[in-house]
Chains A and B, each alone.
Chain A
Amino acid sequence: MPGEWVDDGRADVAVAVAKKRKVRGLGSERLREALVGYGFIALPMSFFLLFFIFPIGYAAYISRYDWGIFRGPFVGFDNYRQLYHDSVFWQHAVRNTLVYTVTVVPLQMAIGLSLAVVVNNAIRFRTFFRAAFYFPALASSAAIVAIATYILASDGLLNSFFGVLGYDHRYAWFSRTDTALPSIIGLNAWTTCGTMMLFYLASLQSISTEVYEAAAIDGAGAWRTFWKITFPLLKPGHFFVAVVSIIGALQMFDQSFIVGGTSGGPNYSTMTVVLYLYNRAFSAHFGYAAAVGLVLFVFIFTVTLIQRLLFGKAEVA
């Protein structure tokens, strides 16, 4: 462990050796350091260039061809023009993605914030509760959807529960056009709110305790303290959580893919932009799928950019 290097008395000898070595000259030492640096980052950098940077340009290139499985004729912006008039894309994929985003994001934020505020109190079993709320975010999405399918089946746990309450219907929630997407929204609000809770917790802990002491002295109640002090002070937190949540929501794929298959069934009701992209690519319309990908990228990039401009110098999101 660390101690070995300093505590064994070799330091004095080392200094002497180092003095002798100084003869070597600074220039060559710097050059050596730079070369070693390049050597160390060579593998990771070539990976990032090959599998992240290059694919952007390559996607743009592919999107300008009538590219089935292999490259076909050059078609300029035809794929984009076709996409502009694509009713499945706009009326189902984009519409569902937007509906999903504007409902799931506020849900995740509200639940995440409530959980964070509660868990942030000095209560017993804090660690346990935090773990319990966060775990669904870590479990395999495929397994979660499988469990949800079982619970939301026509003779499943949810319908039994509603039956006890007197609403005796037999919905297979994931199989009806009017309930499939709302079910996914509910499911994902549940799985992802734990992550939002953690973000909010970090944010909450950066608020100085003095503010609360002052509020307590003024006799402000818990409810009032929350709305007048905590909520406004969390502004950067709200913003960050909103952006992370929006970006995640715009990329929703797993749940639709499992519930609705590649066609976003039933009747396109769970079709999302990303699922549509996957669907186009694997029905041998790679050029078209590349165009969908770039449009989505530009959209997400804009959201991120707005965040950067408003949020300031955050290093990474």
Chain B
Amino acid sequence: MADERLPTTPQVLAVGELTLEAEGVGGRPADAEGIPGRERADRIRTVVTYAVMFTVAALFFIPFLWSLSTSFRTIADTVQGFSLLPRHWTTAGYHDVFYKYHFGRYTINSAVIAVAITVSNLFLASIGGYAFARLKFPGREVLFMLVLGTLMIPDQLRLVPIYQMLVNMLPSWVGHLGWQNATFTNRNGVILINLVSAASLFLMRQYFLTIPRDLEEAAKLDGAGYFKTYRRVMLPLAGPALAAVCILTFQGSWNGLFWPAVLLQEESQRTIPLGLVYFQTIYTTLWPQLMAASVVAILPVLVLFVLFQRYFVAGVAASGVKG
């Protein structure tokens, strides 16, 4: 599915994480010809397997489909008992959500935060990953271990110190630099503390390690400097890894609830997830509107997922199992 969509990549794709998902790597040989009775047993197993799969898949889909169906209902419709499809189709839920309950603004806030964090992750993780993968400097291993170590620090531990830093320390620091009255308990703060993640950097470094050195050597001989080598040789070759970082970072920051809940205090700054939380506590039973807002929250990630499924999978693989 997503496999054909991949841009033509050089053989370097052989990095474990990003090829892990090639189709047809089934763990066991499906055919067991020549063993008596085996064929019938296999057929029964196949039928049972499909039945279970479709049932489970349906269970996984029902909540989403139900919310989609409700988002096109009228409020009266939601209390009239069960019906699969809306009795009267209406887009009033969506209209209300955007024009009455400010989800238009929340969508923009979410998009700004997610795009800013994604762009900065792409740049910082790739340049840092390149340095850690290719350039030799004293202390490289120790510093890299330090980066990986940050993966073990839970966000919760950082809540108090980061909040205090953003409220008390940083404004006075940047004040010395001439930026008076800066505040970070807003969108800027959420972006600032997510500029790069160790997971992105790790993913980039691992990928760079698998790129053959010949190309860089050629560039070097051509007189290209380190930055030019990074920019003109390494980045174009790292397409799959960049795509994985891009998609995973976007998804993570688009869905993020913890830091927005900590840092966004003004109503006008809320992101979609945070807006959903507040909407739910205030208007408990405006189901069509709530479901419409949920659809808006889920849709971009769904589209990304349908288009680039393998990168999501690659990210999970990279974050965990080695070999």
Instruction: Please give the residue numbers on chain A whose beta carbons come within 8 Å of chain B beta carbons, in ascending order.
Output: 1-2, 5-6, 10-11, 14-15, 17-18, 30, 33-38, 40-41, 43-45, 47-48, 51-56, 58-59, 62, 67, 70, 115, 118, 120-123, 125-136, 138-151, 153, 155, 157, 160, 190, 195, 198-199, 202-207, 209, 212-213, 216, 219, 221-222, 237, 240, 244, 251, 253-254, 257-258, 261, 273-274, 277-278, 281, 286, 289-290, 293-294, 296-297, 300-301, 304, 314-317
Contact = CB atoms under 8 A, between A and B. Distances in A.
Contact of A139 (B125, B131, B168, B255): B255
Could you say which of B132, B162, B281 has the most chain A C-beta atoms within 10 Å of its C-beta? B162
Contact of A237 (B26, B32, B49, B321): B321
Contacts of B1: 127-128
Tier of interface size on chain B: 35 or more
Nearest to B200: A44
A138 B313 CA distance: 11
A212 B29 contact: yes
21 contacts: A2-B215, A14-B221, A18-B221, A44-B196, A53-B146, A55-B158, A59-B157, A62-B164, A123-B50, A127-B23, A131-B305, A139-B297, A143-B273, A143-B293, A151-B63, A206-B323, A209-B29, A278-B261, A278-B262, A286-B164, A293-B159
Nearest to A221: B41
B177 interface: no
B49 A14 contact: no
Contacts of A190: 60
Nearest to A288: B160
B237 A44 contact: no
A131 B64 CA distance: 14
B85 interface: no
Contacts of B140: 37
Question: Binding site of B, secondary structure by majority: helix, strand, loop or mixed?
Answer: helix
B290 interface: yes
B243 to A, nearest CB: 15
Contacts of A122: 24, 26, 30
A314 B322 CA distance: 7
A289 B159 contact: yes
Contact of A40 (B57, B60, B127): B127
Contacts of A48: 146-147, 150, 196, 198
A277 B261 CA distance: 13
Given A37-B135, A138-B255, A293-B154, 15 more contacts: A36-B131, A40-B128, A55-B162, A56-B153, A121-B28, A131-B305, A141-B257, A142-B273, A142-B294, A142-B297, A143-B298, A146-B290, A148-B63, A149-B280, A240-B320
A130 to B, nearest CB: 8
Contacts, number: 334
A204 to B, nearest CB: 5
Question: Binding site of A, secondary structure by majority: helix, strand, loop or mixed?
Answer: helix
A33 B196 CA distance: 23
Interface string B197-212: 0100110000000000
A6 B136 contact: no
A48 B127 CA distance: 15
Interface in B268-320: 272-274, 276-277, 280-281, 285, 287, 290-291, 293-295, 297-298, 301-302, 305-306, 309, 312-313, 316-317, 319-320
